[in-house]
Structures are given as C-alpha cells and as structure tokens.
Amino acid sequence: MTLDPTSGDAPFASPDGWRPSEHELARRAARRSQSRRGMSIALVSSVVVIGALGTVVVTSSGWPVVRDTFFDVPYGLEVLPIIFDGFKLDLLLVAIASVCIAVLSMIVALVRTSRSPAAAPFRILATVYVDFFRGTPLILVILLIGFGIPALNLPKISSLDVAVLGTAAIVLTYTGYVAEVIRSGILSVHPSQRAAARSLGLSNAQTMRHVVLPQGIRRVMPPLLNDFVSLLKDVGLVSILGVTEAIQQAQIETNKSFNYTPYVVAALLFLIVTIPLTRFTDRVLATSISRQNAQGTA
Amino acid sequence: MTSTVGGPLLELRAVRKSFGTELVLRDVDLVVPEHTVTVLIGASGSGKSTLLRCINQLELIDDGLVLFDGVDLADPRNDADEIRQRIGIVFQAFNLFPHMSVLDNITLAMRRVHKVQRAQAEAAALELLGRFSLVDKASQYPDRLSGGQQQRVAIVRALAVSPKLMLFDEVTSALDPVLVNEVLAVVRDLRKDGMTMVIATHEMGFATQVADEVCFLSGGVIVERGAPDQVIHAPTDQLTQEFLRRVHEAGRL
Ligand SMILES: Nc1ncnc2c1ncn2[C@@H]1O[C@H](COP(=O)(O)OP(=O)(O)O)[C@@H](O)[C@H]1O
Ligand SMILES: [Mg+2]
C-alpha cells in the first residue's frame, strides 16, 4: 500500500487497484486546510508574542548595557571550553547520583509499600526518612553535609571530596522524592492485577517484579523524568561547596571580568542537554502508550 | 417489528479502513433503516469492532461515506462531536469510568455536554436505572458491581443522552451465560421501543431473535447478508456455512 504523500499516513493506493475517491480527496483537503489554519494561527500568535517581548527588551534603555555584559559572543566563546570542562563534572555527578537515587528510592518505595508485619520497623524508618528529606530544603542539606561532615573529623568520611559529599546530599534528598513517586505508581496498579498474578502461582516478590512494577513505573514515567531534569539542574548547587563545576567556573570567570556572559554560556549548556532529553522522553512515552492501548477497547 | 420502518438512518458506502498495510475493511456497504436491528457476525478479527468504530468516527476511515441522517460523518467540515452525541456505543470491556459512581458515570455527558442541571440529570438517570433494576447501585463505584451489572450500567450510560442509534460491540463476550441473558434482555427491550441498533455478537440464538438483517463479515468483507432465518439457518455462502458450523461445534448455536 502506498501512503498519501500529501496527507500524513493516509493510504493513497493499494494493490487491489483502489484510489481515493473524489469525496475522500475532498475530506483530506479539508483536513489539511483545517490543520494549516490551526498552524498559521499558532505561528502568527507566536511571532506576535515573541516579537512584542523582543521589542520591549531591545528598545529598553538598559538594553545596550545588558547586551554587552550578558551576550558578549566573542567572550562567551573564549570561556566556553573551561565552562564545558566544569559541565562535564556536572554530567558525571548526575550519572552517579541518578544510579544511586534509582536504587535507593526503589528500596524505600518497596519498604513503604510492603505489607508484611515483619517489615513494620523498616516501614517506620522509611517513612521518617522520606518525611525528613522531602521536608528540608536541598540547599540546607548540601550545606549541612558539605560543611558538617568534614567538621566532625571522622576518619575517612571527613576527608571525602566536597563533590562527593554534595552529591550524597543530593542523593539523600532526591531519594525521598523519587521514592514517593514510585510508591504512588505501585499503589496505582489495580488490586485485580496482583490477584491475577498471585493466582497464577507467582510469589509476592515475582508479582511485584513482573506485574506491578512494570505497570506502576510506566505510569509514573512522566514525573520521574521531570525529577531527572530537575536533578540535572540541581546538581549545580554543589557549587556552593566550592566544587568547580560549570556554574562555579562561570562565577570564577565572571568575578575576573565583571561580565555575566559566562552564566549565559552555562545556562545554554544545561539547555542543550535538558531540552532534547524532554523531547526524547515525550516520544518514548507516546510510543509505549499507543502500542499498549491500540484501540482502548477490546 | 412494532414500529414503522423509515428511510435509512445510517448508510455506509464503500467504507474502507486499513491499519498500516493491513486492509481491515474492504469497501463495506451497509444500510440501516430507522427502527431496525442489524446484526454483524463473523470470526474474531473479521473487522466487526473496526466497522462499529468507523461508524461513530473513533477511527478515521481511508475512504467511503458514513451517512447518518444523510450527513457524512467522516467529513471534517461537519461537526462530528455534535452528530456523535446522537450515536451511543457500548463496548465489550464496559469502559465505565472507575473513579465515578454509577450515577456520575451516567449523568456526566448529560451535565457536561448537554448542560442539564444536576438534579434533573440525576432524576432521569435514576428513572433509567429503575427500568433496568439497578437503582440500588446508583451510588456504587463500578468496580463493586458484577460484570452483567456493569454492562447494563454502560448501556444506561449510552442511553442517557437519548441517542438515535445504538452500537453494541460484543457486549456479552466478557460475561457468563446467566449474565449474558440479563444484558440481552435489555437489548430486546430496546428493540421493542423501536431503537435503531447495529450489534456485533457471537450469540447466534439472540441474533436470530432480534435481527432484521444479519451480515456475515469475513476478512473485512460482508460476504452474505439477509434475514436471520436465511443467513443463520440456510446460508448460501461457503464461508458463512463454515463459520456457522464451527460456531455450532462450539455449542453456541
Ligand atoms: N488499532 C489497531 N491497530 C492495528 N491493527 C488493528 C487495530 N485494531 C484492529 N486491528 C486489526 O484489524 C482486524 C480486525 O479487528 P477487529 O475489528 O477487532 O475484529 P473483530 O471485532 O471482528 O474481532 C484484526 O486483524 C486486528 O488485528
Ligand atoms: Mg471485536
């Protein structure tokens, strides 16, 4: 079957000699013009809004100064390599932190949702943990751990690099959030699914692993990815401990030159990673939904 | 038939539908006069559900005409939403909204689409529920009901907006035989009231009783159609004969 090149994936011809009829072609033309109309409305309104905002900014009296101190392109290119070096450290910390968060939050979520009486003390512990770390501002946790642990003068632990301590603080806080997201996913799976799996002879753990978690996690994928993007940005907070990642590097450069372009460069580096990530995850999600819910009915 | 037979309420002309490279409906023609019941039979995968979904535009057709009261539903220039309010559909899987009580399930469209006051909508819903002996379930959540009750609620929900045409897609396939009867009784009732219906089913006995016309689908083509006595009891087409023999062997005739 050949697809209609002018109308998305509507078929245009098939081996049995069929060609779209006059009225079908008219319908497709109408559909196309409707979507064209929608698109031109969207385009025009975007151009108007962006144009208006741009005009307000560019015509403001402070604009020439802002342009020179924030958008100095040659200077930006000059500091790019050193900020990029710092950014690589950010990415490394994100990679390590996300693995730790994934493992720990899964454990906390499973403990929080377990029903066995024997696990009761762990449940209480996990609840206290979540309450504490979800309720404390991340920046305070970073400061407390980053400056508190070295001050304790403990063997080994106190001599850890501040980057490690900062990352640990982020892991502790994010684990609290992510565990709750995973737990809500687990709880959203209908009890009949558990019953069906148990009646097939699957153990409690197997039911969790093969039936409940795959459905629950898929359902909370959007908030989890949201948290991942947040993590990418929040990892920059370790700069307050003096870790020379992208933001800290940008600050060092800015302090030297009194020009804020390095901050804009750092912001762009973060955007270059986060925007494609969000688009990519949108796509993954859409495919997985359409594959599972082909008709939405039997 | 209790009511008079009018002009066609629904007419399909050469409706064609494919999924990817798989042609699922091949130029299907169908005429459904007002106050008549058309029953679709055929093996699983023959395209019955797809045909029903194409009728109320849950699927975009590749070609053909879906005329409802003479208006082409497939044409984007017609307001499909508005016309679709006149067509009720009931699915095999009930598809009740699990987060709403039975009463809210039924009154949702009345209140949100037709802007009926809540009190008035609920009164109408309770009257319908009464007709199908479901009044005591009004405040329950769907999950608490038996399959037969859920399916009857789904039918009441579709009826609540007074559709002119009802589509039923294997509404009894998920039910045990006792519950099958309670649901089929509802459909028989609707027929007495003169409701125009298109029904996909595997219940041949039921089909014989309610159908004005039976259409046998195979591979997306209506290969045989006619009065139930003819199609179900004296089929002429070889494919129909084969299908009915298999149904017979399965003890469903
Ligand atoms: N959303 C879909 N995507 C791809 N193929 C589909 C989809 N829906 C139905 N089909 C295919 O269309 C054919 C007819 O399906 P269906 O209309 O459900 O048959 P029936 O209701 O008679 O059992 C089947 O081969 C099925 O695999
Ligand atoms: Mg079907």
Structural domain boundaries in chain B: 10-23+33-97+165-249
Closest by alpha carbon to B108, among B154, B54, B53, B150? Answer: B154
pLDDT digits (tens, 9 = 90+) for A43-97: 999 999 999 999 999 899 989 988 888 999 999 999 999 999 999 999 999 999 9
Domain A83-275 has CATH 1.25.40.10: no
pLDDT digits (tens, 9 = 90+) for B65-120: 999 988 899 998 888 777 778 899 998 888 899 889 999 999 998 888 888 899 99
Our CA-based measurement puts residue B103 at a distance from the nearest CA of chain A, in whole angstroms, of 22
**Which residues touch A260 (CB under 8 Å, ≥6 apart)?**
A69, A70, A254
- CB of A68 closer than 8 Å to CB of A251: no
Q: CB atoms < 10 A from the CB of B177, how many?
A: 8
Tokens, residue A239: 């700069």
Instruction: Provide residues with CB under 6 Å of ligand 1.
Output: A 294-295; B 19, 24, 42, 44-50
Q: In a mutational test of the pocket of ligand 1, which residue from B16, B18, B23, B24 has the highest number of ligand atoms less than 8 Å from its CB? A: B24
Alpha helix stretches (DSSP H) within A136-235? 138-151, 162-188, 191-199, 204-207, 213-219, 221-234
At B165, the amino acid letter reads L
- CB of B158 closer than 8 Å to CB of B88: yes
Q: Is the pLDDT of residue B3 over 50?
A: no
Q: Does the distance separating the beta carbons of B174 and A27 come in below 8 Å?
A: no
Q: What is the 3-state secondary structure (H, E, C) of A33-69?
A: HHHHHHHHHHHHHHHHHHHHHHHHHHHCCCHHHHHHH
> In this predicted structure, what is the pLDDT of residue A294?
61
* pTM (2 d.p.): 0.76
Partner A contacted by B78 (CB < 8 A): no
Q: Which fold would CATH assign to domain B10-23+33-97+165-249?
A: Rossmann fold (3.40.50)
pLDDT digits (tens, 9 = 90+) for B177-226: 888 888 888 899 999 999 999 999 998 989 999 999 999 999 999 999 99
- CA-nearest residue, atom 20 of ligand 1: B45
Chain B environment of A1 (Cβ under 8 Å): 18, 21, 23
Strand B37-41 with B196-200, pairing: parallel
Partner A contacted by B221 (CB < 8 A): no
Q: What is the 3-state secondary structure (H, E, C) of A59-127?
A: HCCCHHHHHHHHCCHHHHHHHHHHHHHHHHHHHHHHHHHHHHHHHHHHHHHHHHHCCCHHHHHHHHHHH
B217 alpha carbon – ligand 1 mean position (Å): 13
The complex's ipTM?
Answer: 0.78
Q: Give the C-alpha separation, A102 to A181, whole Å.
A: 11
Q: In a mutational test of the pocket of ligand 1, which residue from B28, B49, B51 has the highest number of ligand atoms less than 8 Å from its CB? A: B49
* Residues from A in contact with B at Cβ < 8 Å: 1, 10-11, 14, 16, 18, 20-21, 23-24, 26-27, 30-31, 34, 295-298
Sequence ranges of the domains in chain A: 1-44, 83-275
Query: C-alpha distances in angstroms, B173 versus A69, B147, B181?
Result: 71, 10, 12
Tokens, residue B121: 């909508």
Query: C-alpha distances in angstroms, A9 versus B76, B154, B214?
Result: 17, 34, 34
